[in-house]
């Protein structure tokens, strides 16, 4: 299976570090097929909920 790409947008630095840490913890598992991507295209995107991009133009799937 190919790697799925996760991006972050307008997250505080501490939250990005938390996601990076979680990825390091789970990366040893054979069935963990995610990598953090610094540029598009993304398979999934984590965004700051207070971002103008979210409040003015909500995505099709918005999990709070």
Summarised one tens digit per residue, pLDDT across range 35-55 is: 999 998 988 888 877 666 555
Share of the chain above pLDDT 70, in %: 77
Strand order in the sheet with 34-36: 34-36, 4-9, 44-47
Of 63, 33, 28, 30, give the one whose Cα is nearest residue 45.
63
Q: Residue 59: pLDDT above 70?
A: no
Per-chain mean pLDDT for the chain? 83
Band (pLDDT 50/70/90 cuts) for residue 1 is confident
Domain boundaries, the chain: 4-56
Instruction: State what percent of residues in the chain have pLDDT above 90.
Output: 41
The predicted model scores a pTM of 0.72
């Amino acid at each position: 299976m190919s790697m799925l790409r996760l991006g972050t947008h307008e997250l505080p630095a501490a939250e990005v570090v938390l996601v990076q840490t979680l990825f390091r913890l789970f990366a040893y598992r054979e069935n963990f097929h995610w990598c953090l991507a610094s540029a598009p295209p993304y398979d999934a995107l984590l965004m700051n909920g207070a971002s103008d991009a979210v409040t003015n133009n909500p995505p099709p799937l918005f999990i709070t």
